[in-house]
Amino acid sequence: FIFFYYFCFMKLKEFLEQNPIINNAQLARLMYPYNKSANTKLANKLAENISGSGRQRVTEADEEIAKKELEKLVHRIVSYISN
C-alpha cells in the first residue's frame, strides 16, 4: 500500500512523470471512455495548454478518476504477482 501513500501526496502530472511505465494514452482511455479524443484531452490538461478561454488543467475530478483507474490496475498487478 506504498502506492496509496505515494500517490496521495502528489499530483497526477508528477506521478506520471515519475512512473513512465504507466502509458498516458491508455490511462486517458480509461479515465474518459466516452471521449474519442481522450489521449489529447489528458495530454492537454497535463501540459496546461491554452484552449478557449484559458488553460486546461487537471481538476480534482480528474485526479479522482485517475486514482480510481490506477487502483484497479494495482489490484490486477497484485493478483498477478500473487499467483
- Comparing 53 with 20, the larger pLDDT belongs to 20
Q: How confident is the model at residue 1 (pLDDT cuts 50, 70, 90)?
A: very low
Would you list the DSSP string of 21-61? TS-HHHHHHHHSTT-TTHHHHHHHHHHT-EETTEE----HH
Residue 8 pLDDT: 56
Model pLDDT for residues 55-75, shown as the tens digit of each residue: 999 999 999 999 999 999 999
CA–CA distances in Å: residue 61 to residues 2, 12, 19, 58, 82: 23, 11, 21, 8, 32
Contact between 76 and 37 (Cβ < 8 Å): no
Average pLDDT, whole number, for the chain?
90
